[in-house]
Amino acid sequence: MRTEIPEDFVDPSRWQAYASGRAQLRLQCDTGPDASALRLDFDFHGGGGFVVARRPVTLTLPPAYCLRLALCGAMPPNRFELKLVDPGGTNVWRYQQEMPVLDGDWHVLEIPSRLIDFAWGPAGGGVAREIGAIEIAIVAGSGGRGHLCVADLRMEDRTPPWPPEIEASAALPGHPPLAVLDTGSESDWRAGSGCGEAWLTLDFGRECEYGGLILHWSDPAYAPACARAFRVQASNDREQWRLIYTATRAGGACSFVGLPNASSRYLRLALDPGPDGTYPALGSIELQPDAFSRSADELFHHVAARAPRGRYPRWLYREQTYWTAVDVPDGGIPALLNEDGSIEVGPAAGRGAGWTLEPFLFIDDDLLGWAELAPIPSLEQGELPIPSVSGAGAGLVLATIAYAAGALGQRVLYARYRLENRRDTPVAATLFVAVRPFQISPPWQGYADIGGVSPIHRLDYRDGRVRVNDAEVLIPLSAPSGFGTATFDQGAIIDRLALGRLPPDQTADDPLGFASGALRFDRVLPPGGVEEVVIAIPFARDCAGSDVEALRLGRWLDADAGFAEAVRDWSQRLGAVAFTLPPSARILASTAKTALAHILVNRDGPAFQPGPRRYTRSWIRDGAVMSAAVLRMGCRTESADFIRWYAGFQTEAGEVPCCVDHTGPDWLPEHDSLGEFIFAVAEPVRFTGDRQLAADLWPAVCRAVAYLEQLRASRLTDAERTPERRACFGLLPESVSHEGYLAQPVHAYWDDLWAVRGLKDAAWLAEILGEDAEHARLTALCEDFRSTLYASIALTMSERGIDFIPGSVEWADPDPTAIAVALTLIDEGHHLPEAALQRTFEALLDRFRAMHDQGVDWTNYSPYEVRVVGALVRLGRRREAHEVLRVLLADLRPPAWHQWPEIIWRDPRAPGHQGDLPHAWISAEYVLVFRDLFAYEREADCSLVVCAGIPREWLDEGPVSVTGLPTRDGHLDLHLGRGAGDAFELSLSGLDRIPPGGIRFAPPLDLASRSICVNGEPADEVTATELVIRALPARVVVT
């Protein structure tokens, strides 16, 4: 057993110290139990965060190993982490545990390789092999200060030696047991017949760690007599054997045997004879490392690696995959369709994920999957959330369309497969629709049971229906030619489909949860002929009852009527506002319509949720923004439904949870929640005039304000008047509302800006409800909060020597994406220093240009940055606003589905975590900035600004029209186009009232050099950038 010493700690200068925020770390040499030690002295200064000691190394790791190190020190309870970083610095593997109690003595910590998990990076998974750095980290739990000494770092190789000693119970002449060690030969081991249990034993000479076996059989793969039965046993002394795997009906050319967390000196394969008394013939055996079966996902990754590309989901090849959501406008947890044509059925109650239907074409003795068909995504009418993919191969086109119909409680998912023969001769083809235990979400999306393999323990076909786990039903509306199912041990179903066959069984019970099945549809298509196959799946999460049971029995199911209903319902829901744009700009409008649909399709009842799987939780932060977006696109009821529902989780003390899911509220300290909650009450009142909503939720608003005041009171003490704490005076306490602050809660200006928004809205609600005294008090409170907030920002900028608006007190960090909301929904830009605001967004533009125009290396970014478009429009920088939009539209994933994930990777196939897809908060941010191009409210002068984001290039190409655009003052109709010569003409109508500051027309022109008439009269309120309109309808001519 080989032992290496990666580090002797003699020279602490070889280690680099890193600390977050205000934390501090000092590294020095100390004395260990036998040699030198590295001492980490740290101080979190009363906050959170982390400290890291990093050592660059060049190290190749064996398949199985154990890291040993000695620890000594004294500190409060915190988390210890050991991280392995690849040479490129982008992929990280991590071991973590709560710090063991250290009593001043040395303690040895053993970390076997199976406990070192992939943490993050574009690799998406797998195990560490080549290492470029080792990191030792302390992550604040209690925080505080202390020290940790690390010594005697060693790596012990635990890889089994190969070849091992081998012994068998019996062997026929010419078929020795040693044959199984030669994977390249045609020889095999045969035990003969009539000798009871036959066995083959491997002896590694010492206890070793391993993860599984791949058994290659020599006898026919699917002959009826070749249902093999075998067992795997392990021992350290050849006396006591423990059973670690059993297969009773193994089929296929090879058996993949997962043995997670296994270790032993001896490993035995025991075979039962077949019906004729003959034992299975074993061609070869491959011992697999621990990584082989670390998880079901890893096991199938190794299975897929040995199959032709396209026979398994793309993520099993460690490639990124993209999907979209499928549901009715007022549904629940949706189904999914991915770019390769797989459909994930909406999960059953109590589960976060479902299983998939995957189409395969068998034609001319060849099986075609996504790799051969290369499907191309599209949407119905180019913008409705009725997605499809279409691929071609062997002269046939296969299209997969997914849509849903029915009310919540009676929803049905339809999977429609359309075959078209583009040959000039008839063709016989088979469509297989496989039912497989895979999710569309890859394992790097993992959360709870979401991501990767999704167990199917039972598959059953009877009465013309497929039942999955006795809970979900597939109803073929097109008559199938057959169905077959198999367990994992019976062999991969895809191998049978590749032969044009189905497994013979109609029922499979798989203790591993890896059962698969397939429906078969044989079709003969004439030249140019089209055939359709439709499968209906009632949503399993919907309520039980007689109507649902009728659906499960196949009654009332009409695929054509369902499709017409889906098109009609989505067209009506998305059609409240009409945009007519020049050809080059139409993609923006289509994307906005689809983005609105994604907000609606991700809802679960009244709950706005940012994603269909990984993010099936309702954050008040996301919900407030989504509420604002849908209101501005003509959806009038969803926002009120959401906030009435969310208000039910507020405590009597006024605290608002940051998030709610099926387990209940989450009380993580995110202090933006209070302001967002009040905003989410006020916004539907502003846009719909729903005074009853205001009256009903006024007590909840008052409680939220009271809790906000209580939080703020902790930062109005004398302690905050000291020089070192002065920048925190009058703010809200530290929070983790920004993901970048999770490691160290900070005083985030995002929280305070939302608090100002909330106080403004609370004062307005008091005013419209006739609460005059409270209106006066809240107005004064808002002014006081505002003054302390902007004083803090100015002080932080001064003390830290920065020329931009920072994101927090502690970090003084550039965060233009967060600061953008100060100009948009919060509408406080007129209180911030103009030069600092400009510089804040110039830095972002510089980075965007470097990333996308100048070839600077980058890994990923978040399309939350679309929010800055609205800020740039308000700053009069429409050219830069469209520059950002062009970049973001180029990063739609995939472009035809008009959606973004939360994280965009530079390599679209990099298997990195991408949040969820479609990400409805980002969709909402896009809807908001798209609307800003045409109109936005401005509180500084109580006006409505129109056309501030319309570029000159659009007008050179054609006119711009918007009909029925909701504003706080009613619905607006707008038409802007070129007139004769160099003239421009604007027509405005609608609105219930003119805002006090008028309507401000901000065209892409220098108005100071133009002649302007409004309704035939010379304009008298004009600046170089804006014209004030005081009455509607209005016709403006600019010459």
The Cα 346–Cα 339 span in angstroms is 17
pLDDT in tens, 587-599: 999 999 999 999 9
Residue 699 clears pLDDT 60, i.e. is over it: yes
> What pLDDT, on the 0 to 100 scale, is given for residue 580?
97
DSSP bridge pairs for 193: 278
Is pLDDT above 70 for 538? Answer: yes
pLDDT, mean of residues 484-513: 96
The letter for the amino acid at 419 is L
Q: Are 227 and 461 in contact (CB under 8 A)?
A: no
Element (H, E) at 750: helix 749-768
Measured CA to CA, the distance from residue 560 to residue 539 in angstroms comes to: 18
Q: What is the pLDDT of residue 352?
A: 66
Provide mean pLDDT across the span 356-361.
Answer: 98
Helix H or strand E segment including 601: helix 586-601
Per the CB < 8 A criterion, the answer to whether 910 and 442 are in contact is no
Which pLDDT tens digit goes with each residue over 191-215? 977 677 899 999 999 999 999 999 9
817-842 mean pLDDT: 96
Tokens 């007190």 — which residue?
809
Residue 243, pLDDT above cutoff 80 = yes
Distance of CA 988 to the CA centre of its chain: 41
Three-class DSSP category at 1016: coil
Q: Is 715 in contact with 694 (CB distance < 8 Å)?
A: no
pLDDT of residue 409: 83
Nearest C-alpha neighbor of 282 from the set 305, 252, 254: 254
Task: Dump pLDDT digits (tens) for 834-848.
Answer: 999 999 999 889 888
Q: Judge contact between 336 and 440, C-beta under 8 A.
A: yes
Beta-sheet pairing, 165-168 with 198-217: antiparallel
Quick one: how far is CA 637 from the chain centroid? 27
Q: Which among 118-122, 737-741, 749-753, 1021-1025 has the top mean pLDDT?
A: 749-753
How high is the pLDDT of residue 221? 61
Q: Tell me the C-alpha distance between 806 and 813, whole Å.
A: 5
Q: What is the DSSP letter of 996?
A: T
- Spatial CB neighbours of 1019, under 8 Å, sequence gap ≥ 6: 1012, 1013, 1027, 1028, 1036
Whether the bond between 163 and the residue before it is cis, its omega within 30 degrees of 0, is yes
**Interval 145-158 mean pLDDT:** 91
Q: Is the pLDDT of residue 47 over 80?
A: no
Q: Does the pLDDT at position 354 exceed 60?
A: yes
Mean pLDDT of 323-341: 95
Distance CA 454, CA 296 (A): 9
Count Cα neighbours of 949 within 13 Å in the Cβ-side half-sphere: 24
CB atoms within 10 A of CB 11: 11
Q: Is the peptide bond before 918 cis (omega within 30 degrees of 0)?
A: yes
Residue 801: phi, psi to the nearest 5?
A: 65, 40
Most confident of 10-24, 139-153, 465-479: 465-479
One-letter amino acid identity for 680? A
**CB of 403 within 8 A of CB of 390?**
no
Mean pLDDT score of the chain: 93
The DSSP secondary structure of 114-153, one letter per residue, reads: GG-EEEESTT-S----EEEEEEEEEE-SS--EEEEEEEEE
In the prediction, which pLDDT does 782 show?
98
> Tell me, what's the pLDDT at 149?
94
Residue with tokens 């099993």: 316
Contacts of 641 (CB under 8 A, 6+ apart): 606
Q: Do 668 and 641 meet the contact criterion of CB atoms below 8 Å apart? A: no
What pLDDT does 850 receive? Answer: 87
With 80 as the cut, is the pLDDT of residue 693 above it? yes
Mean pLDDT of 867-884: 97
Spatial distance between the Cα atoms of 824 and 874, rounded to a whole number of angstroms = 8
In the predicted structure, residue 743 carries a pLDDT above the cut 70: no
What's the CA gap between 593 and 570, in Å, rounded? 10
C-alpha angle 703/709/713, rounded to 5°? 145
Contact in structure between 518 and 477 (CB atoms under 8 Å): no
Q: What is the distance between the terminal CA atoms of the chain, rounded to a whole angstrom?
A: 87
pLDDT tens for each residue of 612-664: 999 999 999 999 999 999 999 999 999 999 999 999 999 999 999 999 998 89
Q: Please state, in angstroms and as integers, the Cα–Cα distance from residue 51 to each residue in 56, 257, 690, following that order.
A: 16, 42, 51
Q: Which pLDDT value is given to residue 91?
A: 92
| H-helix segments, 633-690 | 638-647, 673-688
The reported pLDDT for the residue numbered 219 is 79
Q: Whose structure tokens read 């109005």?
A: 716
The pLDDT of 855-874, averaged and rounded, is: 92
Band of residue 546 on the pLDDT scale cut at 50, 70, 90: very low
CB burial readout 142-161, b (16+ within 10 A) else e: ebeebbbbbbbbbbbbbbbe
Beta carbons of 431 and 407 less than 8 angstroms apart = no
* Nearest C-alpha neighbor of 698 from the set 747, 746, 654: 654
Banded model confidence at residue 76, pLDDT cuts 50, 70, 90: confident
| Rounded Cα gap, residues 674 and 657, in angstroms | 9
Within 875-997, residue ranges assigned H as helices are 878-890, 920-932, 952-957
Is the torsion defined by CA of 1025, 1029, 1032, 1036 positive or negative? negative
More confident residue, 823 or 78: 823
Determine the number of helices (DSSP H) and then strands (DSSP E) in the chain.
18, 51
CB 537 within 8 A of CB 415: yes
Highest-scoring range by mean pLDDT, 96-110, 301-315, 538-552: 301-315
The torsion angles phi and psi of 963, rounded to 5 degrees, stand at: -125, 130
Distance of alpha carbon 448 from alpha carbon 642, whole angstroms: 25
Q: Is 457 within 8 Å of 296 (Cβ atoms)?
A: no
Give the H/E segment covering residue 461.
strand 458-462
CA–CA–CA angle 123, 124, 127 (5° rounding): 70
Instruction: Please check whether residue 729 is in contact with residue 799, taking contact to mean a CB–CB distance below 8 angstroms.
Output: no
Higher-confidence residue: 18 or 103? Answer: 18
Residue 356's pLDDT band, with cuts at 50, 70 and 90, is very high
Instruction: Give the integer Cα–Cα distance in Å for 1001 and 1025.
Output: 8
> Over the stretch 970-984, which tens digit does the pLDDT of each residue have?
999 999 999 888 899
Lowest mean pLDDT among 73-82, 264-273, 499-508: 73-82
Identify the sign of the CA torsion 866, 870, 876, 882: positive
Write out pLDDT tens, residues 756-814. 999 999 999 999 999 999 999 999 999 999 999 999 999 999 999 999 999 999 989 99
Name the DSSP class of 884: H
Rounded to an integer, what is the distance from CA 891 to the centroid of its chain?
16
